[in-house]
A and B are shown apart, each in its own frame.
Chain A
């Protein structure tokens, strides 16, 4: 059955000219949580499709069979029919039982409970980026979450400002990030890959630009990532552009908001200790390359409306920006 629905959807999408792949699709689950939800949705979808066909067919048949024709006798004035009324009250009620029972079962199965050895990740929504903390590993990073394949991840979600919603569709359903309130989801990813997602609760000017990625790694590469993150920032070689960039960073407003271990303690913006190792910047908006980094440092609000990182006063020179880019890229 899921197969058939997949083909129906694919057919619909092909007709409309869309090809794959769909990195944010809810219909291509890659975790136990995602599959449980998808399975439930598939069941409900088929009940709904069946009801749709029967009811719309009755409507169309009535319209065709009883359309006005000359000489048709005055219709009989039926006022109702008790047996029929009871039948079509019971029929939807019975169908809904078939929907409700698996629903309740799935609610409890996906309530966010996790075994004691699950990997804990704390997610904090900010306007407009994500902060990830791994309390057991002593890691804090931003926007790109790393998760090991095959191990249960328990995600605790909250917010530092307004309400956001953490959503990585391939890995399961969304949960709201609410200030003063912690929500939990748990999932076990079953394929390696980079899964995109984004904030789903309207949270102000750049809601659309609050994206995220979850990178599911095989165990060895996850361990390697953990090792890098747990280390301090890479040292800039003497005389390099990166070292000049470090000097620019240290004397500029950057330090007020960003953490780079051993350099600055700011916590308003994302930690940059290992920013060079991320694949994207600005909450999943742009690839992490020199051109985008430079544009971002020069004028972040033009790339992300409302961004708190305003233009520097006085503005940085092009040489300063180039040095900063080199420095940030060196922070592997």
Chain B
């Protein structure tokens, strides 16, 4: 059957591919917002004692930059590939729960809008515009976030927005785990699952285990702020350090939630363009799983300056260093994949190699602050800002761009321009190193992070100027990327089924794939079904026309309606209005009720 056309089609869609595109465009829009916030931050810091924005605005900017990039840009950009690519890689027609998938997307969208609405709704709270956005950092340390120290609605927006987003991530997490475990094509044993889908599985296990932890932390905070409990209040005998444990117990697995999908992408892109299978597939997969487990045992390395005592510091130092081993193993396997290959220098390969090169730097600076005494000088300084950006920008974002250049033809049926792509890569590569490398020195010379102003006496003024110039080069590179995306809609070369000679199933079907993906579900006989190996010839692609009619689920309004109930409930707390809470609950329940009793056949 064909899909519903027009706006209604997009609003009611349950097709994983359309939802993947919705995730992509929404997350990319938030990525641009977070990037603009970063540019204002860099303008403010370009010179000492800058006056571009004031302290309050700056504190909102860096809080929203971090929150936006992590929860609204990088995670959902990963989700857009989970959605679009994973079912294709494992030979499925859709995810396990298509309507739940739509629900995840709408909750994500509404949660993101709720968070960002805080920029504009100041007047509703008797404050100015740009006055009530969250302002206690993306890590929101208690007890600064208590009502006593942050009386405005700023933190309310943050804690409610994150709780709403958590529901989206949890729903999606379960969905992808069930999908990957249950909907694999016949013959696709676990050790034949493509690396990207494997890393998606590990990531989603981390999501369903880590998000409940921050949800608990946020609930405590919500009860403290709204209902007078004292979970983080020292005067009542509690300790604000509890928040730090809960936050980082979530926060460190979150780092791997952000980096593992990029590692998965790189593990697909490098073999394709080196014309060689991934070196040590088993080791790469197992080290990904190991990283997932070990990611749970290192959280206190974010808290070495808290004073947990020498024993705890030593233990968390050891576990943190240990996690460098499986990470290093992955890097060696990627280099070994390139070694002896026939490397085609496509834009996707540039970004994948950029990931490896930059992630090495982020990983090594990570080892320097896995050592608690050294970290006492580095933590909360710009050195850590350098580290986090080598990991998330040099790592995650380069990995995601590798994925975009690699899978864009599959997702849209159009190839991106390679010349523009390489301009994008080189500008972004130079820009990021100019922006973030000097931050190592800025931090070691004593500039703390999260400061809206600094003294010219520190001797870091020129380094900061260089960093700002780098940030604007990055902005320029992103502009080129936007032009490339826009151009490709009409002027991009039409993509064949397989523009790259890929080994995995997504390349066996048209670009973009039909709603049902596979006219015939393939039977998988080895790990690289589309490549010739010693024992197997390449698999035959499914026929262009399905031999029998394929029935796909129709659209549904109810996931979106149910999702709408959540921001409404949040609004009740924000405005301290009880009846709005009942409206929110009613909308949520009504949506779920109609969803549950909706006939499957439409």
Is A36 part of the binding interface, using a Cβ–Cβ cutoff of 8 Å? Answer: yes
Is A263 part of the binding interface, using a Cβ–Cβ cutoff of 8 Å? Answer: no
Report the minimum CB–CB distance from A71 to chain B (whole Å). Answer: 10
Is A200 part of the binding interface, using a Cβ–Cβ cutoff of 8 Å? Answer: yes
Is A116 part of the binding interface, using a Cβ–Cβ cutoff of 8 Å? Answer: no
Q: Which B residue sits closest to A58, measured CB to CB? A: B335
Residue from A85, A162, A163, A207 within 8 A of B450 (CB atoms): A207
User: Are B339 and A107 interface neighbours, CB within 8 A?
Assistant: no
Residue from B282, B305, B344, B466 within 8 A of A174 (CB atoms): B305
Give the distance in Å from the alpha carbon of A24 to the alpha carbon of B305 in the complex.
Answer: 18
Q: Which A residue sits closest to B334, measured CB to CB? A: A59
Chain B contacts for A183, CB-based, 8 A: 306-307
Give the distance in Å from the alpha carbon of A79 to the alpha carbon of B335 in the complex.
Answer: 13
Is B252 part of the binding interface, using a Cβ–Cβ cutoff of 8 Å? Answer: no
* A100-137 interface with B by 8 A CB criterion: 100, 103-104, 106-108, 110-111, 127
Residue from A62, A88, A99, A306 within 8 A of B371 (CB atoms): A99
**B291-299, B359-367, B593-601: which lies at the A interface?**
B359-367
Is B546 part of the binding interface, using a Cβ–Cβ cutoff of 8 Å? Answer: no
User: Are A63 and B343 interface neighbours, CB within 8 A?
Assistant: yes
Give the distance in Å from the alpha carbon of A305 to the alpha carbon of B280 in the complex.
Answer: 56
User: Are B275 and A74 interface neighbours, CB within 8 A?
Assistant: yes
Chain A contacts for B305, CB-based, 8 A: 165, 173-176, 200-201
User: Are B374 and A40 interface neighbours, CB within 8 A?
Assistant: yes
Q: Which B residue sits closest to A34, measured CB to CB? A: B377
Against A, the Cβ 8 Å flags (1 = close, 0 = not) of B418-430 are 0000000000000
Is B123 part of the binding interface, using a Cβ–Cβ cutoff of 8 Å? Answer: no
Is B438 part of the binding interface, using a Cβ–Cβ cutoff of 8 Å? Answer: yes
Is A96 part of the binding interface, using a Cβ–Cβ cutoff of 8 Å? Answer: yes
User: Are B368 and A45 interface neighbours, CB within 8 A?
Assistant: yes
Is A92 part of the binding interface, using a Cβ–Cβ cutoff of 8 Å? Answer: yes
Report the minimum CB–CB distance from B574 to chain A (whole Å). Answer: 21
Q: With A178-B306, A181-B239 as given contacts, are A199 and B448 in contact (CB-CB < 8 Å)?
A: yes
Report the minimum CB–CB distance from A137 to chain B (whole Å). Answer: 25
* B281-326 interface with A by 8 A CB criterion: 281-283, 305-307, 309-310, 313-314, 317-318, 321-322, 324-325
Most buried by B among A66, A172, A183: A66
Give the distance in Å from the alpha carbon of A81 to the alpha carbon of B282 in the complex.
Answer: 11
Chain B contacts for A58, CB-based, 8 A: 335
Q: Which B residue sits closest to A96, measured CB to CB? A: B321
Q: Which B residue sits closest to A285, measured CB to CB? A: B455
Chain B contacts for A176, CB-based, 8 A: 305-307
Most buried by A among B59, B325, B371, B379: B371
Residue from B241, B310, B446, B457 within 8 A of A111 (CB atoms): B310
Residue from B137, B324, B357, B466 within 8 A of A96 (CB atoms): B324
Is B462 part of the binding interface, using a Cβ–Cβ cutoff of 8 Å? Answer: yes
User: Are B310 and A23 interface neighbours, CB within 8 A?
Assistant: no
Chain B contacts for A251, CB-based, 8 A: none
Give the distance in Å from the alpha carbon of A26 to the alpha carbon of B377 in the complex.
Answer: 7
Report the minimum CB–CB distance from B375 to chain A (whole Å). Answer: 8
Most buried by A among B332, B341, B446, B455: B446
User: Are A174 and B338 interface neighbours, CB within 8 A?
Assistant: no
Is B482 part of the binding interface, using a Cβ–Cβ cutoff of 8 Å? Answer: no
User: Are A75 and B364 interface neighbours, CB within 8 A?
Assistant: no
Give the distance in Å from the alpha carbon of A287 to the alpha carbon of B13 in the complex.
Answer: 64
**A48-56, A242-250, A318-326: which lies at the B interface?**
A48-56
Report the minimum CB–CB distance from A167 to chain B (whole Å). Answer: 7
User: Are B372 and A107 interface neighbours, CB within 8 A?
Assistant: yes
Chain A contacts for B375, CB-based, 8 A: 173
Chain B contacts for A104, CB-based, 8 A: 314, 317-318
User: Are A27 and B317 interface neighbours, CB within 8 A?
Assistant: no
Give the distance in Å from the alpha carbon of A305 to the alpha carbon of B131 in the complex.
Answer: 14
Give the distance in Å from the alpha carbon of A9 to the alpha carbon of B55 in the complex.
Answer: 31
Against B, the Cβ 8 Å flags (1 = close, 0 = not) of A7-42 are 001001100111111111111000000001110110
**B21-29, B141-149, B565-573: which lies at the A interface?**
B141-149
Is A89 part of the binding interface, using a Cβ–Cβ cutoff of 8 Å? Answer: yes
User: Are B325 and A41 interface neighbours, CB within 8 A?
Assistant: no
Give the distance in Å from the alpha carbon of A248 to the alpha carbon of B335 in the complex.
Answer: 74
Is B342 part of the binding interface, using a Cβ–Cβ cutoff of 8 Å? Answer: yes
Chain B contacts for A22, CB-based, 8 A: 445-446, 458-460
Q: Which B residue sits closest to A211, measured CB to CB? A: B455
Residue from A9, A41, A48 within 8 A of B441 (CB atoms): A9
User: Are A18 and B451 interface neighbours, CB within 8 A?
Assistant: no
User: Are B338 and A66 interface neighbours, CB within 8 A?
Assistant: yes
Report the minimum CB–CB distance from B260 to chain A (whole Å). Answer: 19
User: Are B324 and A92 interface neighbours, CB within 8 A?
Assistant: yes
Against A, the Cβ 8 Å flags (1 = close, 0 = not) of B340-362 are 11111100000001001100110
Q: With A37-B376, A161-B149 as given contacts, are A80 and B446 in contact (CB-CB < 8 Å)?
A: no
Against A, the Cβ 8 Å flags (1 = close, 0 = not) of B116-147 are 00000000000000000000110001011000
Give the distance in Å from the alpha carbon of A59 to the alpha carbon of B337 in the complex.
Answer: 10
Give the distance in Å from the alpha carbon of A104 to the alpha carbon of B370 in the complex.
Answer: 11
User: Are B317 and A66 interface neighbours, CB within 8 A?
Assistant: no
Residue from A51, A103, A196 within 8 A of B373 (CB atoms): A103
Report the minimum CB–CB distance from B98 to chain A (whole Å). Answer: 36
User: Are B381 and A200 interface neighbours, CB within 8 A?
Assistant: yes
Residues of B within 8 A of A (CB): 54-56, 59, 136-137, 141, 143-144, 149-150, 234, 239-241, 274-277, 279-283, 305-307, 309-310, 313-314, 317-318, 321-322, 324-325, 328-329, 331-333, 335-336, 338-345, 353, 356-357, 360-361, 364-365, 367-368, 370-381, 438, 441, 444-455, 457-463, 466, 531, 533-534
Residues of A within 8 A of B (CB): 9, 12-13, 16-27, 36-38, 40-41, 44-45, 47-48, 51-52, 55-56, 58-59, 62-63, 66-69, 72, 74-81, 84-85, 88-89, 91-93, 96, 99-100, 103-104, 106-108, 110-111, 127, 161-163, 165, 167, 169, 172-176, 178-181, 183-184, 196-209, 211, 305-306
User: What 17 new A-B contacts, CB under 8 Å, besides A18-B462, A77-B276, A205-B56?
Assistant: A19-B459, A41-B374, A52-B364, A66-B274, A68-B342, A72-B342, A80-B280, A80-B283, A92-B324, A103-B317, A104-B317, A107-B314, A111-B309, A173-B305, A196-B446, A200-B381, A203-B144
* A–B pairs, 11, beta carbons within 8 Å: A23-B457, A26-B446, A27-B445, A89-B328, A92-B324, A92-B328, A93-B325, A103-B374, A165-B305, A167-B380, A204-B136
